[in-house]
Structure 1
Amino acid sequence: MAEDAGFDCERAAEMVEELRSGFRTGRTAEYEWRVAQLKGLVKMIDEREDEIVSALHKDLNKPHLESFLQEISLVRASCLLALKELKRWMKPEKVPAPVAAFPASAYIVSEPLGVVLVISAWNYPFLLSLEPVIGAIAAGNAVVLKPSEIAPAMSSLFANILPKYVDNSSIRVVEGGVAETTAILEQKWDKILYTGNSKVGRIVMTAAAKHLTPVVLELGGKSPVVVDSSSDLQVTAKRIAVGKWGCNNGQACIAPDYIITTKSHAPLLIDAVKIALEKFYGKDPKESKDLSRIVNSNHFKRLIRLLDEDKVSDKVVYGGQRDEKRLFIAPTILLDTPLDSLVMKEEIFGPLLPIITVDKIEESFNIINSGTKPLAAYIFTKDKKLEEKFIKNISAGGLLVNDTTLQVASPHLPFGGVGESGMGAYHGKFSFDTFSHKKGVLSRSLGSEAPARYPPYTPQKLKLLRGLLNGSILAIISVLIGWPRLE
């Protein structure tokens, strides 16, 4: 809420206790409550789209089409999917009961965890805030959203409009920076989902450990693109370009971070990407209205530091122009940057795209696997055997063949990292499952007994139980009918 400026530990504790008291009434677990909140979010999107687009433009100079396609439409679709599938998701899942418990039934109940915290990122501040919140609501939790202070317009918009569309006694927004986030993390939560970098991810996980709170961390990483010479050159170039610079000007956790291709294919690929970029953004991309800007001066300086490192500065083959006043860095391609350079060791999160060359495309696997596991990995090829090797040998949060970034649009695929790129996953039913406890239930009849399980233990009972565990039909029948009498 906007009035939560100056949030401290005492106020945070009061807020969490209020939410927990409301949760204990069982209100948020009711199907009707969940549906009402999800419908409220859909209504908010429909009525406030212009304000959402405006906030995204203020924070990131994000083009209207990008805002709609990559954020607003995905959140709306996620709400509608949850509304359509919620009854099915909430339904207990029947599983086989053990023969030894006959007659009995077994099933898994999805129950809400309690009071959960979502800490979102600045680069897709609408999508990365509400996508997990939708899962938390669908699962029946009370939830606190902490938007990123680096996207202040969107943070303020959430604080001002969200309470008008959802139950503010169970769904809260807290604005602020490091102090407020620290105060929130001191509290006991039933789950935390954080999207951001690994440095803060470690802080979140450390704070959560004090209360044994489970966490989902979506942390990004260096997402590679392997380009085989068999791929369609023009299509490949366009899809890489739109996945890199058409996704927030490279400021996306799944944007292509670097390319690996063969020495002979690299010049052709570079020329094709140049053509695609000039078609997308013109000969002077600084004047393009379709290219987002760097989010702030700190990130601008960080990117310039990567670009101007001695061992990298002479590797620029396209772009490199910058304007700090306008927070602009041109789409930039670098060729054969050393693997020990900063641009190849750090996540770029910006418009710089290194290309690494190898003699044989299979050598790319060793380069990728020598680093930390990425959030996403891409390959462009018509060679099915190479595709199969890539899928088998590359460990990443998710893989995409012959395109970039589109995996995030599927609610039927889990979205999350592995290793340094994160833990846990969400999207669609995976979001519902992430914010649910899967409670196993076994229900037995009082009308049947298996005497062999009770003392005093005898060799005959052991033989019978051994036969039962080995699947002996005679032993199973004996136990089911309580014969022979072994008391």
Structure 2
Amino acid sequence: MGTFPTPPNPVAPSGSTALNQLELPQVVTTLPEHIVELVASMHDVVSTRLAHPRRFRASQLKALERMLEAHEQDFLDALADDLGKGPVEAKMTEIDMVRVEIDHAQLHLSEWMESKSVKIPLALQPAAAKIEPQPLGVVLVIGAWNYPLQLILAPLVASIAAGNVTVLKPSELAPATSALLGRLIPQFLDQRACAVVQGGASTTTVLLKQQFDHIFYTGGERVGKIVAVAAAQQLTPVTLELGGKSPAVVMDGASAAVARRLVFGKFMNAGQTCVAPDYVLAVGDSARALEKSLAKVITSFYGKNPLLSKDYGRIVNRAHFDRLVACLDDGEVLIGGGYDEDTLKIEPTVMINIDPDSPLLREEIFGPILPIISVESFDAAVRFINARPNPLVAYLFSENPRLQSAYGDQVRAGAIVHNAPNVHLAVPTLPFGGVGTSGMGSYHGRHGFERLSQMRAVLGKTTVVDTMRAVYPPYTWAKSKLIDRML
């Protein structure tokens, strides 16, 4: 059995007392030669079938669960360091989301691994056929910075459950979380079956030149295209979890409950959520109703000065901060609009009368700015959405079953969700993924297991009685008629 070297241990970071006490390493670039050796060694491990047995998969899932339990506070500290996340939000949206995936996989692992018998056409009997899940081999998971724990570990749960060995590449834009993962993963998981590679774009470039059996990427469309092109050079299948401008259509008579759910969904993680409502299409008088209630809800959630709220995060870095601040001049600021350059915080902001050429209407906002666009009717809202690329999710705030049905029929998106933004991610029995420019492939629960498995066809037919003689040449008139009737 081949073994691979442990990544180098860099020096401890500065700037966070909690992290300094942990003596966590900084995120450094793993050497290219180390990456080449690592991936080659993991292919050697695949040949030993180390990760195939159910017992091994279950033990690794349990170990991952122990890691989250033993180091929950360490992860909360790292997430606060990277994104200013408050402990309740960080636990709910990062740690608990992964725990749900682990628990669900542990409960159903044996069922998922079972072969499934399928029916055989009468003409081919006697025979037996089944579909059996097989591990793919070496899986590369490239994580995202906005949920740097959840979006690297949830795919890992699927990869472990499917019996693969996994290379993790956390985002360098969340260095504290990346460093913590690099330190803890080797302590809790079998190092032969899971490794962490750290670094920036150059590291990802080297990784994409290696041979993998599947690449799982979460991030933006631009890098998603780079990953897809690199994977195509080696005919490697990919899962791309991207994003896009997810709309929220609000029908007439918007209630305070609608405002609360919009504020919760949009301003969680300071708007840096791929499924956050990107903009609101307010039908009829709903814009006026929203304008009255959104300010009250924002104050009730984050106080009169949201920049000081412990429950409100910051923008990931200065480049994204500057990009978002520049957009504040592209329309009328109805609510919020304040910001702090030192803390990289921007108030929850609602805008109207947006410049048609503004990035707010052309690009995924990925920040705490919510444009409200008034439209005359439900049909006008649908036309507005369909004139743009397919979103990751499309929200409709309406209790009308007829409108809900029409919305699902007419709008193409990775998911259709009514009256509750973001929460579909917490349902492990639902597939999560995009369509078109918002991504390809889905995961969570069994969907992730099957995505990272080969669902292999197996057929067996006895030779004791050769029932296939009827289809052997030479083909007489009688045989051709018989074949037509059989098939």
Is 1:197 matched up with 2:215? no
Is 1:3 matched up with 2:27? no
Aligned to 1:352: 369
State how far apart, in whole Å, the 1-side matches of 2:356 and 2:162 are: 44
Aligned to 1:235: 257
Equivalent runs, 1:437-476 vs 2, <5 Å: 437-450=454-467, 451-469=469-487
Which residue identity does 1:174 align to in structure 2? V
* Alpha-carbon contact 1:258-1:353 (below 8 Å) kept: yes
What is the Cα deviation at residue 6 of structure 1?
A: 3.9
Q: Provide, for residues 381-426 of structure 1, a one-character-per-residue CA deviation record: whole Å limited to 9, x for no partner.
A: 1221111110111111111101110000000110000011000000
**Cα distance 1:265–1:463, how it changes in 2: closer, same or farther (>3 A)?**
same
What is the Cα deviation at residue 158 of structure 1?
A: 0.2
* Alpha-carbon contact 2:253-2:289 (below 8 Å) kept: no
Secondary structure of the equivalent of 1:362?
helix
Is 1:281 matched up with 2:302? yes
Aligned to 1:480: none
Secondary structure of the equivalent of 2:289?
helix
| Residue 146 (structure 1) aligned to one of 136, 158, 169 | 169
Aligned to 1:396: 413
* Alpha-carbon contact 1:59-1:295 (below 8 Å) kept: yes
What is the Cα deviation at residue 287 of structure 1?
A: 1.3
Which residue identity does 1:218 align to in structure 2? E
Secondary structure of the equivalent of 1:3?
coil
Secondary structure of the equivalent of 2:443?
coil
State how far apart, in whole Å, the 2-side matches of 1:460 and 1:338 are: 75
Aligned to 1:262: 283
Is 1:31 matched up with 2:54? yes
Which residue identity does 1:238 align to in structure 2? R
* Alpha-carbon contact 2:35-2:197 (below 8 Å) kept: no
Is 1:373 matched up with 2:390? yes
Percentage identity across aligned positions?
A: 42
Which residue identity does 1:140 align to in structure 2? G
State how far apart, in whole Å, the 2-side matches of 1:404 and 1:26 are: 41
Is 1:301 matched up with 2:319? no
Q: Provide, for residues 137-175 of structure 1, a one-character-per-residue CA deviation record: whole Å limited to 9, x for no partner.
A: 110001000000000000000000111111011100011
Q: Provide, for residues 103-137 of structure 1, a one-character-per-residue CA deviation record: whole Å limited to 9, x for no partner.
A: 11110010000001000001111100100001001
What is the Cα deviation at residue 2 of structure 1?
A: 5.1
Unaligned runs of 5+ in 1: 470-487
Is 1:186 matched up with 2:205? no
Is 1:72 matched up with 2:95? yes
Give the TM-score taking structure 1 as reference length.
0.93
Which residue identity does 2:42 align to in structure 1? L
Q: Which runs of 4+ in 1 moved over 4 A?
A: none
State how far apart, in whole Å, the 1-side matches of 2:54 and 2:283 are: 55
Aligned to 2:134: 111
Aligned to 2:144: 121
| Residue 430 (structure 2) aligned to one of 379, 393, 413 | 413
Aligned to 1:136: 159
| Residue 16 (structure 1) aligned to one of 5, 28, 39 | 39
Aligned to 1:475: none
* Alpha-carbon contact 1:2-1:156 (below 8 Å) kept: no
What is the Cα deviation at residue 339 of structure 1?
A: 3.7
**Cα distance 1:3–1:266, how it changes in 2: closer, same or farther (>3 A)?**
same
What is the Cα deviation at residue 101 of structure 1?
A: 2.3
Aligned to 1:478: none
State how far apart, in whole Å, the 2-side matches of 1:2 and 1:338 are: 49
What is the Cα deviation at residue 305 of structure 1?
A: 2.2
Q: Provide, for residues 67-114 of structure 1, a one-character-per-residue CA deviation record: whole Å limited to 9, x for no partner.
A: 111111111121111111111000001111232221111100100000
* Alpha-carbon contact 1:142-1:170 (below 8 Å) kept: yes
State how far apart, in whole Å, the 1-side matches of 2:257 and 2:213 are: 46
State how far apart, in whole Å, the 2-side matches of 1:323 and 1:466 are: 76
The structure with the larger Rg is 1
Q: CA RMSD in A?
A: 1.2
Is 1:40 matched up with 2:75? no
Equivalent runs, 1:321-336 vs 2, <5 Å: 321-336=338-353
State how far apart, in whole Å, the 2-side matches of 1:443 and 1:98 are: 13
Secondary structure of the equivalent of 1:353?
strand
What is the Cα deviation at residue 230 of structure 1?
A: 4.5
State how far apart, in whole Å, the 2-side matches of 1:428 and 1:6 are: 32
Which residue identity does 1:198 align to in structure 2? E
Aligned to 1:51: 74
Which residue identity does 1:3 align to in structure 2? P
